[in-house]
Structure 1
Amino acid sequence: MNRPTALDISTFSNEMKFMLKLLRTDLPLEADEIIRHSRDIDWNSFLRFAVYHETFPVLYPLLVELNEEQSWTPEFIMNRLKTLYVRNTMEMLHLRGELERVNKLLADKGVRSLILKGPVLADMLYGDISGRTSGDLDILVSKKDWDNSVLVLLEAGYVRGEQYEVDGEVFKNTERKTHHISYVHPTKNVEIELHWSLNPDTVIEPSFDDLWSRRQKSTLSKLIYTLGNEDMFVYLILHGTRHAWTSLRWLLDIDRMLSRFLNWNRVRQLFEESKSTVLGGKAIILASNLLGSLLPEEAYAMTQNQKAHRLAQTVTLFIREEVILYPKPAKKEIAVAYNRYLLSTMTPKQKLLYVTNKLYPSTKDMMVLPLPKSLHFLYFPLRPFLWFWRQVKRQTI
């Protein structure tokens, strides 16, 4: 199969390159070659990358197999990976149980729901819920079912996240700032992100009814539904794009999706409708270069775009280092690079909506300048000045 133009990953550490070699799906792993490469590895650094990129659910069983004939991975690394793997399996089982409970409660109320990631995606792409990590449950519902969905969660013991409570109630800006609201169960320690759309409002996407018509049953339960393959593929790419692919876990998902049956005519149509064909090409370039994903002709055609290649090369900055992007980048240079990258992924219309939404007040403005409710309208003209003041204070800390 064809390969897109190679990316420059010469600045990647030996540990990162070694991890990528283990994760590649295009070449059989030769034990002697792997052992030879492992001699130059700082194993603590390797472990840190495996945790940061959340690749340990794939790496641990792989390393167990590779160490069967000759033990070459340090014992403390295998023990730590095993601990992480077992813990993740227990957490995923816990999430699965709660997902089945909440899904049934929604169905009993006549609410149609689509499960986006979590245990459903792990089982779908890795054949086992222990093959992927997940910190929460993402559930998409129709806007017309929103009130009933919230009522179901509240009756099930969930409470609304504090930030969403303040922002939504004070500024009525929830839909401007996000595309979901988090609900947390205080005793079960489970967070549910309830979505009314797949992506922020700067992205054009199919209606819920269209997504529902193309849904597929989860193998976890005949009562649980998720997105159809093509909708899932596009959704995962747009999600990874927003997060600058800072976790290889998301790129592993794309690698697994590329090996599934995809109707490429529909994939192309979905990307064209959301004005994101270049972003699809960028993700495929990353998957092929870093993970060795095998590309059908239709996927390869999407990589033949200079902007897609430039964006993919830009993203390697966020992959090779341990960066924090949310709630805000820890380093100024990363913040600047990320904002430039994010804007470069948007169409002119999306950029306008993005900037407009940034000008809308938030709780951060209230923290800088508390005003009585009767004067909240002043946050709109004061927003640029409050933002500037926050930046000044941030640089002086």
Structure 2
Amino acid sequence: MDNNYSLDLSSLSKELKLLLEILKMEDYDSICLVKKESYIDIDWDEFLQLAWHHRVYPLIYSKLKKADDNRIPPYVIKTLYKEFKKNTLQMLHLSGEMEKVSELFTENQIRLLYLKGPAIASDIYGDISLRTSKDLDILISITDLKRAEELLLSIGYEKEVDPNVDPNFLNEWKWRSHHVVYFHPQKNIQLEIHWRLQPLPHKEPKYNELWERKRKSNLTSYPVYFLGKEDLLLYLISHGARHGWFRLRWLLDIDQMLRKGFKWEDINPLISKYQNRKLVGQALILVSELLKTHMNEGWEKLTEVKDSKKIAQSAIDFIKETESLATIISRKYYNHYSLSLKSNPQRFFLFLILFYPSSADSMTLPLPKTLHFLYFPLRPFLVVWRKKRKP
């Protein structure tokens, strides 16, 4: 790590700092070594709220339950245990559905790779109960999208529909989306089908390339596949960066993967090919500073990138938040942060997408389908018109 640089963590609350102190301890006995002053004037309700918000309560509970530390009130451990038990049941529930969906898709010649959920929890932590997951995220080839939807609808899933988006309007969904959401009301399970790892204009491997590097989970009897080791790390980094790392769980994933040993030589070609250097540098700085993750010399070089340092410091503003992602994204400073993650070619691509017509244009000025091509030259005028009408 570059010794000439460190993050400014002065804005973090004492409850969040204590949470980080516990998370960075590698074994249960080490928790007793947390400095006594870290426990002074702690608002334990706030501590529990942060553990839940950052989705790290399973790991916090697993560490505290074995630590003989009377500085932590008994009700805190009891509350953590209650949430830990609920999460374990949820992960078992998702595991069963993961296996069923894999079997259904495979029997219908659809290749699928899991991006999140129990398979990833088992791979990273060795125990599905130590990581949370509210849904299942699946990556398929875009050519299989229609058939996949038919299969999900046939087994009781319902498609989440945005009333403000016309799915048949100029293939807008291909440009502005990268996944679609389904929900099973009886099973209370949300499932996301992705046809890209990240939204445009992120550069990423082709599906066949990801499939060739896939791994098989040892969690289920029926074959369940997920991303290769290097692909998973880069995906989790890009996903966490895009969301401002506002949940510590995503940084813990990176921490755990690096602690298991990652050869710099194996992943460096992919970092260069898919232009992830700045985002990887940001993640490495954050896990090093917040979780004290050890890394070898190869990884340390990435932390010296100037842009990585800037966006790492910017992420602290999101990490200390307890708002929802939707609330954070609505704020102006998130737009500035999001733009700072991108390279100049990516920013130019985003600029071009601004001129691609949207469903809002068709609602502002309805035209017959044969005249939809006119929305391209009319787009700037329609955007200005909507802004003027907006109260």
> Aligned-residue CA RMSD in angstroms?
2.5
**Cα deviation, residue 337, structure 1:** 1.3
Provide TM-score, normalisation by structure 2: 0.90
Checking the alignment, whether the CA contact within 8 Å between 1:3 and 1:300 is kept in structure 2 is: no
1:179 paired residue number: 178
The residue type equivalent to 2:334 in the other structure is: Y
1:357 paired residue number: 353
The residue type equivalent to 2:203 in the other structure is: I
2:124 paired residue number: 125
Q: SS of the residue aligned with 2:167?
A: helix
Residues 335-371 of structure 1: CA deviation (Å, up to 9, x unaligned): 221111111111112112223334445456677x474
Checking the alignment, whether the CA contact within 8 Å between 1:361 and 1:383 is kept in structure 2 is: no
Q: SS of the residue aligned with 2:281?
A: helix
1:9 paired residue number: 9
Between Structure 1 and Structure 2, how many residues are aligned?
A: 385
Residues 114-149 of structure 1: CA deviation (Å, up to 9, x unaligned): 111111111111111111111111111122322322
Seq. identity, %: 36
Q: SS of the residue aligned with 1:169?
A: coil
Checking the alignment, whether the CA contact within 8 Å between 1:26 and 1:292 is kept in structure 2 is: no
2:293 paired residue number: 293
The residue type equivalent to 2:20 in the other structure is: L
The residue type equivalent to 2:348 in the other structure is: L
Provide TM-score, normalisation by structure 1: 0.89
The residue type equivalent to 2:219 in the other structure is: L
**Cα deviation, residue 325, structure 1:** 3.6
Would you say 1:41 and 2:37 are equivalent positions? no
1:145 paired residue number: 144
2:320 paired residue number: 320
Checking the alignment, whether the CA contact within 8 Å between 2:2 and 2:304 is kept in structure 1 is: no
Structure 1 gaps of 5+ residues are none
2:305 paired residue number: 305
Matches within 5 A, 1:1-397: 5-25=5-25, 29-31=30-32, 33-66=34-67, 69-163=68-162, 166-221=165-220, 223-326=223-326, 329-330=329-330, 335-362=331-358, 369=364, 371=366, 380-385=379-384, 388-389=387-388, 393=391
The residue type equivalent to 1:40 in the other structure is: D
Structure 2 gaps of 5+ residues are none
Whole-angstrom CA distance in 2 between matches of 1:26 and 1:264 = 23
**Cα deviation, residue 260, structure 1:** 2.7
The residue type equivalent to 2:212 in the other structure is: S
Deviates more, 1:212-221 or 1:31-40: 31-40
The residue type equivalent to 1:29 in the other structure is: S
Residues 150-175 of structure 1: CA deviation (Å, up to 9, x unaligned): 22212222121111894323453111
The residue type equivalent to 2:48 in the other structure is: L
Whole-angstrom CA distance in 2 between matches of 1:65 and 1:125 = 21
| Off by >6 Å, runs of 4+ in structure 1 | 1-4
Whole-angstrom CA distance in 1 between matches of 2:164 and 2:148 = 16
Checking the alignment, whether the CA contact within 8 Å between 2:137 and 2:191 is kept in structure 1 is: yes
Checking the alignment, whether the CA contact within 8 Å between 1:158 and 1:186 is kept in structure 2 is: yes
